[in-house]
Structure 1
Amino acid sequence: MTRRYTEEDQEHYERPRRHTRPRTKDRPSYDDAVDGTVVTVDRGRFTLAVDGVRVMAMKSRPLGRKGVVVGDRVRVVGDVSGAEGSLARIVEVADRATVLRRTADDDDPVERIVVANADQLVVVCALADPEPRPRLIDRALVAAYDAGMAPLLCLTKSDLADPESLLSTYRSLGVPWVVTHKGGNLDELRERLSDRTSVLVGHSGVGKSTLVNALVPEANREVGRVNAVTGRGRHTSTSAWMLELPGGGWIVDTPGIRSFGLAHVQPEHLIEAFPDLDEMTEDCPRGCTHGADEPECGLDEAIAEGQADPERVESFRRLLAARYDATAL
């Protein structure tokens, strides 16, 4: 049997084999890595805050498919000078204290992490122009409670409408709030944000970017206008951006949202955010969701016996219903 190739043919020679490097279990120690925080993400590149310097970085190969999001606390090696053209490598991502998630729709199985390690969710809602949408507020509150974050309701454009009608809806839930208007005093809001990491969410046009520019003057976030025909705002922020507050703390400006899916939220866990109500449901039948149509729910018994505030229970059940209402927005 003759060979296909002779010694004179190029194909005769043995080609290099793959995976010839001997494997090792030793991994780099990264003793020289420094700590940083992800402040924004753009097409696979990460801007980090490292000791007050903005550093551009990429994710190292050993991290594989592990996602890195705004707010992540990371370990970085390489050039962390922040000089133009420099590039560092993210080699470790610390465990997250909190994760704010949302899905595009209630039937979307893919969760999207909005931000990591924030401890306060600021729901920004305009009192007019555009009109307030309480169901978005409800859904954002559900997401905050599910993530273990403290909620704060920030009502803007109070010079155009009275905030009382909207505030009365959330008073029984114990949700703290601040009321602002363009050019007004923001001392109360600054106090609420001080020394915390807060995420601002809301529809386009409600004034998030205006607030950010007032709180962090050098931010220069683009401000949009509300369409007079549709009553909707135009997206001015295209990606989440984390900014350090002059008085201490961080805020995360997020793109305006028109949907806030809650497919990731387990409704039975929502009541755990309300310890007083949770205690009243200890004797509920198995499988009770604590909704208004549940028979023999402990919340109804607590109301009948005068142990629960009916308005607070009704407000909780409204949040619970928001989890199921895919057309709420």
Structure 2
Amino acid sequence: MSRSARSYDESDVRIRPGKGTRPRTKTRPSHKDAHSAMVVSVDRGRWGCVLDGDPERPVVTMRARELGRTPIVVGDRVDVVGDLSGRPDTLARIVRVAERSTVLRRTADDTDPYERIVVANADQLLIVTALADPPPRTGFVERALAAAYAGGLSPILCLTKSDLADPAGFAAHFADLELPVVLGGRDDGLAELQERLDGRLTALIGHSGVGKSTLVNRLVPDADRAVGRVSGVGKGRHTSTQSVALPLPGGRRGDRGWVVDTPGIRSFGLAHVTPDEIVDAFGDLREAVADCPRGCTHLGPPADPECSLDALTGSSYRRAMAVRELLAAVRDTGSETDEPVEPTP
């Protein structure tokens, strides 16, 4: 054996240390001390929340790692932990998102498969439409109604600029749907509208220029200050590109209501909405279509010669025909760009 040769034993073997001896676990913290909150604003990975729905207790939060990419939107009920003081430069964490009772959704257009959640858990949808300048379009209202019915929200039509045109003509288009109609112009009193908003979470939508921001400022006189108090996200100021929930002052039933001011909407795609979801919003029609053949679109002859809606009578039949017009308008991808309704002076 050569002098340079060497015998090796186990002491010469280098053992790489392990990363740890504790086994990994999928068990997550229970967060039993979490506080309930409502999301009131969203901006760049931060969520403005109010604890227990109280606008006097705002906190800024981030999404906990265990939630992954779980979408969180304005109106969501969440559980939060961490620093709940609400002091500047503090962050709490959202650890749970409750199941949603309603969802207002839209797509970019009728062919886009990606759904955008506009507001969660809203009780009502206030569709703000001007009677003139710009002239009203039935297509946008019809699409908003379809989204409300499909998402479980109760729709209300709010007509602004009533000093420029008679509201009766436009409102008549939706009479058979039993759609509540209120006036919200500059010279109109807001008592009826405020009564409908008290104690409820209401989303507002409308095209740019219809007076939605003016209406919000009348309903929430200190809207700019309220945004800063409940948000704390970004610069703490609401712009037309982000939704924000604003607390209504007081409440006749002792329960403060909220309005969600949404950005001005240019298009309202409904790729996610099915005919049955719209029909289900009406109890009498829901029972009737139970006898429809499989695959019925409820549009009537010639497409659906055996649709059960044709067998109805009286007010139910008139409502069925109004819903059928709504279904046809939603099915037409050009319905949102329909001809404006000529105002009645």
Distance in 2 (CA, whole Å) between partners of 1:205 and 1:190 is 22
* Alignment match, 1:242: 245
Amino acid at match of 1:301: A
**Residue in structure 2 matching 1:260, options 268, 291, 296:** 268
* Alignment match, 1:301: 311
Contact 2:300 2:306 in 1 (8 A): no
* Alignment match, 2:323: 316
Amino acid at match of 1:255: P
Contact 2:275 2:298 in 1 (8 A): no
Contact 2:74 2:119 in 1 (8 A): yes
Distance in 1 (CA, whole Å) between partners of 2:21 and 2:222 is 53
**Residue in structure 1 matching 2:115, options 111, 114, 117:** 111
SS at match of 2:222: helix
**Residue in structure 1 matching 2:284, options 258, 262, 276:** 276
Tell me how far 1:16 sits from its aligned partner.
Answer: 7.9
Per-residue CA deviations over 1:256-275 (Å, capped at 9, x if unaligned) read 10111111112133211122
Q: 1:184 to 1:220 in 2, by over 3 A?
A: farther
Unaligned 5+ runs, structure 2: 1-13, 226-237, 337-345
* Alignment match, 1:45: 46
**Deviation larger for 264-273 or 93-102:** 264-273
Tell me how far 1:310 sits from its aligned partner.
Answer: 5.0
Tell me how far 1:79 sits from its aligned partner.
Answer: 1.1
Tell me how far 1:80 sits from its aligned partner.
Answer: 1.3
Tell me how far 1:77 sits from its aligned partner.
Answer: 1.0
* Alignment match, 1:33: 34
Taking structure 2 as the reference length, the TM-score comes to 0.82
Distance in 1 (CA, whole Å) between partners of 2:16 and 2:224 is 57
* Alignment match, 2:125: 121
* Alignment match, 1:142: 146
Higher relative contact order (CA 8 A, sep 6+): 2
Contact 1:299 1:308 in 2 (8 A): no
**Residue in structure 1 matching 2:83, options 79, 82, 101:** 79
Q: 1:291 to 1:216 in 2, by over 3 A?
A: same
Contact 2:285 2:316 in 1 (8 A): no
* Alignment match, 2:299: 291
Contact 1:267 1:323 in 2 (8 A): no
Distance in 2 (CA, whole Å) between partners of 1:16 and 1:151 is 64
RMSD: 2.2
Tell me how far 1:183 sits from its aligned partner.
Answer: 4.1
**Residue in structure 2 matching 1:328, options 317, 328, 335:** 335
Per-residue CA deviations over 1:113-171 (Å, capped at 9, x if unaligned) read 01111110111101011111111100110111111111111001101111011111111
Distance in 2 (CA, whole Å) between partners of 1:203 and 1:153 is 13
* Alignment match, 1:63: 67
Contact 1:237 1:254 in 2 (8 A): yes
Q: 1:14 to 1:193 in 2, by over 3 A?
A: farther
Contact 2:149 2:277 in 1 (8 A): no
Contact 2:202 2:259 in 1 (8 A): yes
- Note if 1:212 corresponds to 2:216: yes
Distance in 2 (CA, whole Å) between partners of 1:168 and 1:42 is 40
- Note if 1:101 corresponds to 2:105: yes
Contact 2:81 2:94 in 1 (8 A): yes
* Alignment match, 1:169: 173
**Deviation larger for 89-98 or 180-189:** 180-189
* Alignment match, 2:5: none
Amino acid at match of 2:332: D
* Alignment match, 1:199: 203
Higher gyration radius (CA): 2
Contact 1:127 1:160 in 2 (8 A): yes
Unaligned 5+ runs, structure 1: 1-12, 222-234
Question: Number of residue pairs matched?
Answer: 302
Tell me how far 1:309 sits from its aligned partner.
Answer: 5.3
SS at match of 2:141: helix
